[in-house]
Amino acid sequence: MKTPQELVSEWNERITWPKYAGYTKTDKAPFGYDAAWAIALMLNKSAEVLKEKVFADGQTRRLEDFTYDDDEMAQMFFDLLKDSNFDGMTVIKHYVYLISSFVLGICPNILWK
C-alpha cells in the first residue's frame, strides 16, 4: 500500500508521460481519486450492512434495489461515508464526503441530517 505522499508523487510523475501529453494537470484530481475510493469502500461496507438491515417498511434491500427516491437507503450510504477512514491522496475527509455525495447524485439535503 502506498502512502498519500507516494500516490501524489506517482501522479505527478505519470502526468508527464508522453501518452498523457494531451491532458492538463489539475489540483482537483486527487480529490476525485479519493472520492472514487470512498464510494467503493462505502459500497463494499453497505453490502455487509444490508445483509442484516431491516428498513422502516419491514423489508430488507440489496444494493441492486437502490433508487434515488429511497431516502432511507441514501442516508445509510452517507452514514457509511461519514464513518469511512482511509489514507488517500488528500487528507480532507469532509471534502471527499461532499464530492462523493454529488458523484452519487443524491440530494445534498441528506448530508445534514
Using one digit for the tens of pLDDT, what is the confidence trace for 50-103?
999 999 999 999 999 999 899 999 889 988 887 777 777 776 555 555 655 555
Question: DSSP labels for 42-102?
Answer: HHHHHHHHHTT---TTS----GGG--TT-HHHHHHHHHHHHT-----S---HHHHHHHHHH
C-alpha radius of gyration, the chain, whole number: 17
Extents of the domains making up the chain: 28-112
Dist CA 59 CA 22 (whole Å): 50
pTM over 0.85: no
Q: What is the pLDDT of residues 8-21, one digit of tens each?
A: 888 888 888 999 88
Q: What's the DSSP call for residue 24?
A: -
